[in-house]
Amino acid sequence: MISFVVAMDENRLIGAAGDLPWRLPNDLAHFKKTTMGAPIVMGRKTYESIGRPLPGRRNIVITRNPTFQAEGIEVLTDFDHVDEWQQSEEEFFVIGGAEIFQQFLPYVERMYITVIHETFKGDTYFPDVLDDWVVVDEQKGIIDEKNVHEHTFLTYERKK
């Protein structure tokens, strides 16, 4: 199965100059809990913004650059494995960026979305696709001195 994990603001903003436009430790903890032990799939730009493989997960980077390499990751230059991942009992988590989300959209069955209930300035947006999905789980995030932005953790599944 292929799933998305993404955080966005009220306008579907997911990035600003290669980084997150907010600081929200609760979301990072949610991301870690959701993806730990599973394969994560990302584009090269997302990998480079993280700067290292994420521990405890199989890190797969998709890039058009056939010579791209980095220690601790698997590099793919095509989408030949998508059907295999889609049929797998194992959940593959696509974590960005925008171009990778767009390319994987036809194959995704579930989306874990953190909505930050504010608007930020940035340059990278998640596709406008939520009309084709239904919320199957919703949890309000806790606001405290480290997590000052109101947020909700949503799980979507594709409408049948």
pLDDT tens for each residue of 34-46: 999 999 999 999 9
CA distance 134 to 66: 38
For residues 146 and 127, what is the distance between their CA atoms, to the nearest angstrom?
29
With 0-12 / 13-18 / 19 or more C-beta atoms within 10 angstroms meaning exposed / middle / buried, residue 82 is middle
Q: Which two tokens stand for residue 42?
A: 């990302």
User: 2 pLDDT band (50/70/90 cuts)?
Assistant: very high
pLDDT in tens, 126-150: 999 988 999 999 999 999 999 999 9
Query: 95 and 39 in contact (C-beta within 8 Å)?
Result: no
**CATH assignment, 2-158:** 3.40.430.10
Q: Are the C-beta atoms of residues 62 and 39 closer than 8 Å to each other?
A: no
pLDDT for residue 77:
93
**pLDDT (0 to 100) of residue 80:** 87
In the DSSP assignment, the letter for residue 6 is: E
Specify the pLDDT at position 160. 80
- Cα separation of 47 and 138, whole Å? 28
At 95 the three-state DSSP class reads strand
Q: Hey, what amino acid is at 157? A: E
Vertex 15: Cα angle to 153 and 126 (nearest 5): 60
Nearest alpha-carbon partner for 64 in 93, 100, 40, 96: 100
- Which pLDDT score is estimated for 147? 96
pLDDT tens, residue by residue, 94-123: 999 999 999 999 999 999 999 999 999 999
Residue-wise pLDDT for 54-102, tens only, equals 999 999 999 999 999 999 999 999 888 899 999 999 999 999 999 999 9
